[in-house]
Amino acid sequence: MNIQLLLSDKIKQAMIAAGAPADCDALVKQSAKAQFGDYQANGIMAAAKKMSLNPRQLAENVVNHLAIDEYVSKVEIAGPGFINLFLNTCWLAKQNQLALDNEKLNLTLADKPHNIIVDYSAPNVAKEMHVGHLRSTIIGDASVRVLEYLGHNVIRANHVGDWGTQFGMLIAYLEKMQNENAQDMELADLEEFYRAAKKHYDEDAVFAEKARNYVVKLQGGDEYCLTMWRKLVDITMTQNVATYKRLNVTLSLADTMGESIYNKLLPEVVSDLKAKGIAVESDGATVVFLDEYKNKEGEPMGVIIQKRDGGYLYATTDIAALKYRYEKLHADRILYYTDSRQHQHLEQVWLIAHRANYIPESLQLEHHMFGMMLGKDGKPFKTRSGDTVKLNDLLDEATERAAALVKSKNPDLTDKELATIVDAVAIGAVKYADLSKNRTTDYVFDWDNMLSFEGNTAPYLQYAYTRVISIFRKANLSMENLAGNIIIEHEKEQALATRLAQFDETITVLTNDGLPHVLCAYLYDIATLFSSFYEHCPVLSAENTALKNSRLKLAALTAKTLKIGLDMLGIKTIEKM
């Protein structure tokens, strides 16, 4: 049940009944302060202006037309014409009960599943994943999880960089290694492999010649080169999938939809764009000039889609990918998780695809971009020697730090218990630190903050979850089939119950805008509201059975909400820590 939406609809109906235009907006929001009620409608002033009415008068008129007694116990007009709404606690209790009884918390599921392509992670072949891939991978995965939970068809598109001229030198080097080592090599250290290949290419003329020859052969579909290329892709992706697993990210090998799969389409796309007069020859290259973008000289900006030497570009592949995703995968919506520096690239690619009629206006295209991960010095996060930080090294350090922390708090754990808790806390902390920041800006990566058991962190939420669970364990009670009704009397009960009932409207922000920090802030609220409820409202030692049962139900709904919410973020919960 999405309360915000429900109240918006009701107020809007009343506004229209009071004579407001049909496109008026009730602007119902959660109130910032308890004295303004649980929700506040802010749309009266704008509507009154359009109608040339006194806003307070319109507000009164709207209130007279309101049919919301079932949900709301008190309505107040405040200030210039705000309408404050106080939820009816009996109705609220009913909403909590419905959520508790329903496997999916009575969330509003997709009435018609959409085909949604989520383009995320996208590391490059023959390179190890580094921290630069973390944000796309985990923010994209949170979106995927929520959209699937609500019933959409999600296609994970891991647009890996698996094509390009660098493969000539990589194949030549792989061949050299294979010849020298006799048996198959492991390529454990991809960074080192790439660096060595590049060094040979730069320093050894014979090697470089061979590498250039291999590029041509690979592009021409030569069997040997393709086999070598595939080997490089397989080794890289097998390692990446291991990292995804470690990160509790849902990407598998089958989700790899690298740049190479669009190769066959590129010549066709270029000639088609030319035939349609969208692309033109310029200095031997093929270029699309866009009036919407101006270069420094104020002339239309050119997007090259084929170089003078015949090579295609990143943009050409993305245009072909759009065509493919619409025609073959029947996408209704495509979400791109790449950093903000790629925004103009994507906008230009979308514009060209629209102009060529490869995709209709109805296809929803969204760039859910993000800022950078910074070190404590405010500069891009690097190792002490200034190198990019490998993702696995980062996770190793997180594991070490979490192990020391958990051990010190809990010296009696068995090794097996310890390993489970450490994994959940370490990976959870790194992911949550990222997911809890508004993705649109840069953020500072700080080990101490993210591993703290206080504040808006994964360990705090994971610990809060175990505390709720322990109430049931202590009393030897199951969370299923609790007796009685939810009774909301104490203000702490009401605050918790109200927030619990706002889960649906919270995850809407994630499904619409891909902003997981809103869900993080919500779960943090739930944990702190529960903690203060638990302090003021005895549960197991409540005055009477009815009260005890009611409070157990609020506790159970808290646990369920935390678990499902953290799971949507790809963060594990544990029963004990």
What is the nearest approach in angstroms of ligand ARG to the Cβ of residue 314?
A: 7
DSSP state letters, 187-200 = ---HHHHHHHHHHH
- Smallest gap from Cβ 119 to ligand ARG, in A, equals 5
Q: Which of 407, 396, 399 is nearest to 423 (CA)?
A: 399
Structure tokens at 52: 């040339």
Q: Which residues contact 441 (CB under 8 A, 6 or more apart)?
A: 371
CB 64 within 8 A of CB 465: no
Paired tokens of 132: 């630069």
Q: Which is closer to ligand ARG, CB of 213 or CB of 263?
A: 263
**C-alpha angle 339-516-99 in degrees, rounded to nearest 5:** 160
Q: How many residues bind ligand ARG (CB under 6 A)?
A: 9
Question: What is the nearest approach in angstroms of ligand ARG to the Cβ of residue 190?
Answer: 14
Q: Could you say whether residue 500 binds ligand ARG (CB under 6 A)?
A: no
Q: Which residues contact 450 (CB under 8 A, 6 or more apart)?
A: 429, 430, 432, 433, 457, 458
**Nearer Cβ to ligand ARG (50/343):** 343
CB of 394 to ligand ARG, least distance (A): 17
Q: Choose between 305 and 555: whose C-beta lies nearer to ligand ARG.
A: 305
Is 386 exposed, middle or buried (CB count within 10 Å of its CB: 0-12, 13-18, 19+)? exposed
Q: How far is the CB of 380 from ligand ARG (least distance, A)?
A: 15
Q: What is the DSSP string of 372-394?
A: -EE-TTSSBPB-TTSPBPBHHHH
Q: Nearest CA to 152 among 330, 29, 7, 405?
A: 330
Q: Which stretch binds ligand ARG (CB under 6 A): 50-58, 118-126, 286-294, 492-500?
A: 118-126
Q: Which is nearer to ligand ARG, 163 or 443 (CB)?
A: 163
Find the binding residues for ligand ARG in span 120-159 (CB under 6 A).
122, 124, 159
User: Do 458 and 465 touch, CB atoms closer than 8 A?
Assistant: no
Q: Residue with CB nearest ligand ARG? A: 122
Which is nearest to 116 in space by CA: 152, 141, 160, 149?
Answer: 152
Q: Kindly tell me which of 256 and 462 has the beta carbon lying closer to ligand ARG.
A: 256
Give the amino acid at 33: K
Q: Are 356 and 273 in contact (CB under 8 A)?
A: yes
Q: Nearer to ligand ARG by C-beta: 58 or 157?
A: 157
Q: Which of 144, 125, 148, 96 is nearest to 228 (CA)?
A: 125
Is the Cβ of residue 304 or residue 450 nearer to ligand ARG in the bound state?
A: 304
Site residues for ligand ARG, 431-490, by CB under 6 A, read none
Which residue of 38, 119, 128, 434 would you call a contact of ligand ARG, by CB under 6 A? 119
> Which CB atom, from 169 or from 321, has the smaller least distance to ligand ARG?
321
The three-point CA angle 476-479-481 to 5° equals 110
Report the 10 Å Cβ neighbour count for 245. 12
Least separation in angstroms between CB 157 and ligand ARG = 7
What contacts 455, CB < 8 A, 6 or more positions away? Answer: 449
Compare residues 258 and 570 and give the one whose CB is closer to ligand ARG.
258
CB of 385 to ligand ARG, least distance (A): 23
In whole angstroms, give the CA distance from residue 196 to residue 202.
10
Closest distance to ligand ARG from the beta carbon of 379 (Å): 20
- Does position 318 interact with ligand ARG (CB under 6 A)? The reply is yes
Q: How far is the CB of 241 from ligand ARG (least distance, A)?
A: 16
Query: Which positions from 87 to 106 touch ligand ARG by CB under 6 A, shown as an x/- string?
Result: --------------------
Instruction: Mark the segment that binds ligand ARG (CB under 6 A) among 119-127, 305-313, 478-486, 492-500.
Output: 119-127
Q: Given the structure tokens 């370490």, which residue do they identify?
A: 426
Which residues within the stretch 324-363 sit at the binding site for ligand ARG (CB under 6 A)?
A: 336, 338
Q: Which residues pair with 366 in a beta bridge?
A: 335
Q: List the interface residues with ligand ARG, window 214-233 (CB under 6 A).
A: none
Q: Which is nearer to ligand ARG, 294 or 330 (CB)?
A: 330
Residue 160, CA atoms < 13 Å, CB-side half-sphere = 25
Do residues 352 and 383 lie in contact, with contact meaning Cβ atoms separated by under 8 Å? Answer: no
- 260-299 residues near ligand ARG, rule: CB under 6 A: none
Q: Quick one: which segment of 117-125, 229-237, 303-311, 492-500 binds ligand ARG (CB under 6 A)?
A: 117-125
| C-alpha of 192 from chain center | 31
Closest contact distance (angstroms) between CB of 328 and ligand ARG is 16
**One character per residue 159-188, x = contact with ligand ARG (rule: CB under 6 A):** x-x---------------------------
Q: Give ∠ CA 427-452-412 in degrees, rounded to 5.
A: 80
- 13 within 8 A of 7, measured Cβ to Cβ: no
In the complex, least distance from residue 536 CB atom to ligand ARG, rounded to whole angstroms: 49
Nearest distance from residue 336's CB to ligand ARG, in Å?
Answer: 6
Binding site for ligand ARG (CB under 6 A): 119, 122, 124, 159, 161, 318, 321, 336, 338
